[in-house]
Amino acid sequence: MRDTRESRLLLVLLIAVAFALITVDIRGGEDSPVDGARRAAAAAFGPIEDGVSSVVDPVGNAVSAVRDSGERHDRLAELEQRNAALEAKLGSDDRNRSRLTQLDKMLKLAGAGQYGIKGAQVIAIGAAQGFSWTVTIDIGAADGVKRDMTVLNADGLVGRVTTVGPNTSTVLLANDPDFTVGTRMEAGDELGFASGQGDRPLRVELLNGKAEVKAGDRLVTFGSQADRPFVPGVPVGVVSRVDPSGGDLTRTLYVTPYVSFTKLDIVGVVVEAPKKDPRDTVLPAKPKPVPTPTVTVTVTPNANAPADGQDQQ
């Protein structure tokens, strides 16, 4: 169509009619007189709109995805932070619960032996102090700790204090090769001396070479003069092997200590000795033997078998 005066008048007329129809449609609402025409147009042009939208929507979806990806990333990062904080809290709570359990068991052991103790935490291991088996604890002279005091934990004998600072102390562990402690067999008077062997069982030399000892027997500390460096009655360990006597003046035992020296955390320094020897009262209860199930076999006679005194045909 050429750009003539008539064509421009027709365009203005069509625009005016369109605005008039829009006005009528808006004012009519659901009862609009052009509602039928609008539906017919929708039916006619709907497939075309769908086709166009199918082409345009992927682009729009991509833009929306890029926009939303930042929001999802922020949400994911927030969730990850919350999970990390929760895991840290749970881990801390688990550790605190473990420490409370250790402390509770240690206080029960101290109560059974009537030991006055100062609780402490292991803050360093001996690798930083040389090749000996030692640990550093977070209490010292300011807490009443002195050299040659017994150190224990919830399981038994840990070692003895060797060096004391204002707020920290060094403990020589019972498995150190330079460590020696007097021992006494449970329910008896057989005395000996236990020495550390690093990560191997303690070596105990009994003074009586003919002493009757077997695997599973238990030992406690015998105690020292004036209760230093060792108070009596602290659980030491369980006999795992007994060397044949061979007529020697002493008898050698190998003892698995109650304490795990590679997993020390909460310990106690005995600052007040018991008024009397607790003997075996501090030892843990012996495990009850597990009953061995018995199997009863019932033999049912075969009905087809020949009776006694009859030959099988």
**What is the tens place of the pLDDT at every residue in 138-153?**
999 999 999 999 999 9
**What is the tens place of the pLDDT at every residue in 57-83?**
444 444 444 445 455 566 667 766 766
**What predicted TM-score, i.e. pTM, was given to this entire model?**
0.65
- 140 membership: H or E segment, kind and range: none
- Residues 242, 287: Cα–Cα separation, whole Å: 21
User: Positive or negative CA dihedral for 78, 81, 87, 90?
Assistant: negative
Report the candidate in 298, 219, 291, 288 with the shortest Cα–Cα distance to residue 254: 219
pLDDT at 84 over 80: no
Quick check: 272 and 226 in contact, CB under 8 A? no
- Residues 75, 78: Cα–Cα separation, whole Å: 5
**Per-residue b/e over 211-246, b at no fewer than 16 CB within 10 Å?**
bebeeebbbbbbbbeebbbbbbbbbbbbbeebeebe
Q: Tokens in use for 283?
A: 């030892």
- Residues 103, 162: Cα–Cα separation, whole Å: 23
**What is the tens place of the pLDDT at every residue in 191-219?**
999 999 999 999 999 999 888 999 999 99
| Max CA distance (Å), the chain | 139
Q: Tokens in use for 11?
A: 């365009």
271 burial (CB, 10 Å; 0-12 / 13-18 / 19+) is middle
- The DSSP string of 21-63 is HHHHHHHHGGG-TTHHHHHHHHHHHHHHHHHHHHHHHHHHHHH
Quick check: 149 and 139 in contact, CB under 8 A? no
**SS3 of residue 171 by DSSP:** strand
Q: Check residue 95 and give its pLDDT.
A: 76
Give me the mean pLDDT over the 116-128 stretch.
86
Confidence of residue 245 (pLDDT cuts 50, 70, 90): confident
pLDDT at 274 over 70: yes
Give me the mean pLDDT over the 240-245 stretch.
88
Compute φ and ψ for 201, nearest 5 degrees: -60, 155
Number of H helices, E strands in the chain: 2, 12
Q: Tokens in use for 132?
A: 């000996």
When mean pLDDT is compared over 12-26, 62-76, 115-129, 143-157, the highest value belongs to: 143-157
- Pick the range with the lowest mean pLDDT from 6-15, 30-39, 132-141: 30-39
Cross-strand bridge partners of residue 151: 159, 269
